[in-house]
């Protein structure tokens, strides 16, 4: 009887092990956890579409998308084996592989692809008089949730225009969902959000509060590039995408799709393959997937491509 119990216990433990962290090891029966962002941001929508395509495009694979605080948290989840694929901004990813910024050491991550660009949104509540980022001094401002790429950019942008993020604004740390609701409730004056176009939460806010405005942030770009490097670029936003009038210039930063460096090479190859083979299906979920391009996808420096992803790009020429 003791021998039977021991055998059964071993079988249960083996089954449990097979069901955890299957993504990093590869092989049959992969369970892939995709770390995304808030539910009204592009990462979550895109990640949900990617999960569906990976589940149907790789044999014996079940992928699911998880809500997170986005870039910083996603990288930490990858590094600790709690996620298999993660979305992140390239500035945060650069900090991760260099062990700088919010990271105390170099993180064990590799890249699958550069996928699309994020746009810095600085949204101002109706009735708030502010024409540039420096005008937010003394205001109630959400910098984005803790462990988010949004907060990294928000703090750097405030510093670039001469404001101290912790003292010159009444700082809050809200998710995109919470920020939108706070503007509706009148409890904040402005919020930062760094995401693709369009971001569903801001579409919702613009629909219900068409008097909201978005600030031009181009005056922060030069100082951000001088201090933090070439990850930051200038981008134009046609505000009609939010059914608002006019256009603005803002700071942009690329997004990358990351995996643990321990991921099985064939699995990383297959993830990359599905990403491009299912471009049309992903674009039907969110238009930012139309930006997928293998030539651009390889440009992930300073994060190295995973060997499986590198093999895919080499084969496709």
Say what the pLDDT of residue 23 is: 52
The per-residue pLDDT for range 10-31, each reduced to its tens digit, is 333 333 333 344 455 444 479 9
Question: What is the chain's Cα-based Rg?
Answer: 21
Say what the pLDDT of residue 229 is: 86
Mean pLDDT, rounded, of the chain: 92
CA gap 202, 193 in Å, rounded: 9
CA gap 176, 86 in Å, rounded: 18
For the cut 70, the answer to whether the pLDDT of residue 49 exceeds it is yes
Structural domains of the chain, with CATH: 2-117+255-315 (3.40.190.10), 119-254 (3.40.190.10)
When pLDDT is cut at 50, 70 and 90, the band that residue 317 belongs to is confident
Dihedral sign computed on CA atoms, order 125, 236, 37, 163: negative
The per-residue pLDDT for range 250-298, each reduced to its tens digit, is 999 999 999 999 999 999 999 999 999 999 999 999 999 999 999 999 9
- Do residues 172 and 140 make contact, with C-beta atoms less than 8 angstroms apart? yes
Token pair in block for residue 145: 């949730």
Number of neighbours of residue 185 by Cβ within 10 angstroms: 9
Strands (DSSP E) found in 153-293:
170-172, 190-195, 213-214, 232-238, 247-260
For the cut 50, the answer to whether the pLDDT of residue 212 exceeds it is yes
Please state the pTM of the whole predicted model.
Answer: 0.88
For the cut 50, the answer to whether the pLDDT of residue 35 exceeds it is yes
Q: What are phi and psi of 69, to 5 degrees?
A: -85, 0
CA gap 281, 187 in Å, rounded: 39
Say what the pLDDT of residue 230 is: 84
Q: How many residues does the chain have?
A: 317
The per-residue pLDDT for range 135-167, each reduced to its tens digit, is 999 999 999 999 999 999 999 999 999 999 999
Say what the pLDDT of residue 29 is: 78
């Amino acid at each position: 009887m003791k021998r039977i119990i021991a055998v059964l216990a071993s079988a249960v433990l083996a089954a449990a092990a097979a069901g955890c962290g299957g993504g990093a090891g590869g092989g049959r029966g992969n369970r892939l956890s995709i770390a995304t962002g808030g539910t009204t941001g592009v990462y979550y929508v895109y990640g949900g579409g990617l999960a569906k395509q990976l589940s149907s495009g790789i044999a014996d694979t079940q992928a699911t998308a998880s809500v997170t605080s986005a870039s910083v948290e996603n990288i930490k989840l990858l590094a600790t084996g709690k996620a298999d694929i993660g979305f992140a901004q390239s500035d945060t990813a650069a900090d991760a592989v260099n062990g700088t910024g919010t990271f105390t050491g170099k993180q064990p991550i590799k890249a699958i692809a550069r996928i699309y660009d994020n746009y810095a949104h600085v949204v101002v509540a109706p009735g708030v008089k502010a024409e540039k980022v420096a005008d937010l001094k003394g205001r109630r401002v959400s910098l984005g949730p803790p462990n988010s790429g949004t907060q990294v950019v928000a703090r750097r942008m405030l510093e670039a225009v001469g404001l101290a993020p912790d003292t010159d604004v009444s700082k809050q740390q809200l998710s995109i969902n919470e920020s939108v609701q706070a503007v509706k409730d009148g409890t904040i004056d402005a919020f930062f959000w760094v995401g693709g176009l369009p971001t569903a939460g801001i579409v919702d806010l613009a629909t219900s509060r068409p008097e909201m405005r978005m600030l031009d942030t181009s005056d922060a770009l030069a100082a951000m590039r001088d201090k933090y490097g070439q990850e930051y670029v200038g981008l134009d936003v046609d505000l009609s995408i939010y059914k608002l009038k006019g256009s603005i210039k803002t700071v942009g930063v690329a997004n990358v799709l990351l995996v643990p460096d321990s991921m099985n090479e064939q699995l990383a190859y297959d993830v990359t393959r599905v990403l491009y083979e299912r471009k049309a299906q992903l674009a039907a979920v969110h238009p930012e997937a139309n930006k997928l391009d293998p030539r651009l996808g390889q440009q992930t420096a300073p994060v190295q491509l995973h060997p499986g992803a590198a093999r895919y790009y080499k084969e496709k020429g």
